[in-house]
Chain A
């Protein structure tokens, strides 16, 4: 872990590149654009500054682990891999191709993916298994599991939290991408989650709630790992679905996006602060 301040400018630049990758993947079949954009900053931060994961240590038992339980935001992860040297950026052009494995959910055919996901509520328990083994062996590896807020509807997330608490897994960090939406609706309109901080605290976790788009807050928070001896770490990262593209930010109908190539060109400019794009492509695409 770095003791010096990270280069925030560099992190911002990397995150912007990752957002460009996501927009480019949001056509020709599309992807879960909104949910990917909300997770970009925390994924970029974790791989750049916090996790001991690089292209040369992917099979090292002493590496850190990141499990993307909220699997549909995998474009954010692949974009990060491409920017940080874990994946050839050219490979992203194979998105949805039958000749590669870059589809809508993560899978272990892609180096750096620790476990497949897509069915929500699974990876908290898989991450627990890895964290338990590290505890048994006396290792120092950190284990992160990124969860969606809608995913927290799944009972298995809370079941896993009971077990993580029972086994005092302070080497495990659940990071909630709290973008305030589930597939079709704001979470608080469908299955309210608040007060979320209190819920996690009541389950025995040491909780930090932060702005998930602030590299400064992310850094200050993860510097405090482990948050408390013997307690599961939880970070609630408040984020914005669609972050970076005002034309889709916080829009319930822009979850899965399959833009036209013209829209992609406009949205790439929008990422750089140009005017909002007039979207005409189909909304509420269901996958």
Chain B
């Protein structure tokens, strides 16, 4: 099932749903015809869209709003914080092309601080699905919640069949004693590659799909510290994302761990098509595995599919 199929099914069955967009229709091409007056395109006005979504939520609606992640999280930041966050209204933010998925757009479109700033708003929950299957499994729960939610939309196909979703629970893909990789979103597919390589090199490897970044699964993070090395892998600035979340959890529980972060360190990434970006920034599964191992291997990096959308 695709994002659009899921949204169509839920929205047609429940008249509380309002589908909104700030003229970003890539995910919802068929919705205007199907939804009638419950499809609202406010044009290129992220702020007005969020304010209007808050007004609709006041009237009992569940607005699912669409815009590029960078503009939704930053152009409209104060509207999200003030109009959805303060009253804790169920405004659901579908953030398109977050992180590395903005591939060749350039730094204006790079939402790589979005997890940090969205989780900093009281009442706002944050989710980052590993692929479309994961996303379709989480959205019914996320949209049914009474709280505002920021979702890093990810329509990638990995072929992995995910477990049912629960808010605040991570998905344990595998468990190991040498290394545990904590990841979310797009880089899940590279984490699967890295895990295979590390296992082939004889390591006992754990892999955790974080899924729910706020609330976060503290027990999953604490359990990972039992391994010799904890790896955080994210397409986000080092500041404020998963690496920071892990630090916060360890500090809270007075634990220490040997943590190796893969993230964007005080820089925007070099714009190009996704496969080249992953390679250039050192995020392919093979590069991640070899950085962890400390040596080159003969393993082959599987081809990375290009994103199907461009905006």
Q: Which residues of A contact B (CB under 8 A)?
A: 61, 108, 114-116, 119, 122-136, 156, 159-160, 162-163, 166-167
Contacts and interface: CB of A to CB of B under 8 A. Distances in A.
Given A116-B87, A163-B43, A156 B55 contact: no
Nearest to A119: B82
Contacts of A134: 59
A133 B55 contact: yes
B56 interface: yes
Given A115-B87, A116-B87, A163 B56 contact: no
Given A119-B78, A122-B79, A127-B55, A159 B61 contact: no
Interface residues of B, number: 29
Most buried by B among A119, A125, A128, A159: A125
A160 B58 contact: no
A173 to B, nearest CB: 15
Interface of B: 18, 37-38, 40, 42-43, 45, 47-61, 63, 78-79, 82-83, 86-87
Contacts of B59: 61, 129-130, 133-134
A163 B82 CA distance: 20
A118 B60 CA distance: 24
A125 B38 contact: no
Nearest to B61: A133
Contacts, number: 91
Contact of A163 (B48, B61, B79): B48
B87 A163 contact: no
Interchain residue pairs A-B with the least CB separation, the first 4 = A129-B55, A125-B51, A129-B52, A133-B59
B83 A126 contact: yes
Nearest to B46: A159
B55 A159 contact: no
Nearest to B36: A136
Contact of A126 (B42, B45, B51, B60): B51
A61 B40 CA distance: 21
A125 B56 CA distance: 10
Contacts of B55: 115, 125-133
B45 A162 contact: yes
Given A132-B40, A136-B37, A136-B38, A125 B47 contact: yes
A122 B51 contact: yes
A124 B45 CA distance: 13
Given A123-B51, A128-B55, 13 more contacts: A108-B87, A114-B58, A122-B83, A124-B48, A125-B50, A126-B54, A126-B58, A129-B57, A130-B55, A130-B56, A133-B59, A156-B47, A163-B52
B61 A125 contact: no
Contacts of B79: 122, 125, 156
A108 B87 CA distance: 9
B110 to A, nearest CB: 23
A203 to B, nearest CB: 13
B48 A125 contact: yes
5 contacts: A61-B60, A124-B51, A126-B58, A130-B58, A136-B37
Among B43, B58, B78, B86, the most chain A Cβ lie within 10 Å of the Cβ of B58
A236 B55 CA distance: 24
A123 B86 CA distance: 14
A21 to B, nearest CB: 26
A50 to B, nearest CB: 20
Contact of B48 (A114, A116, A128, A135): A128
A126 B63 CA distance: 13
Contacts of B53: 129
A131 B82 CA distance: 20
Contacts of B58: 114-115, 126, 129-130
A132 B47 contact: no
A125 B52 contact: yes
Nearest to A118: B82
B52 A128 contact: yes
B60 to A, nearest CB: 8
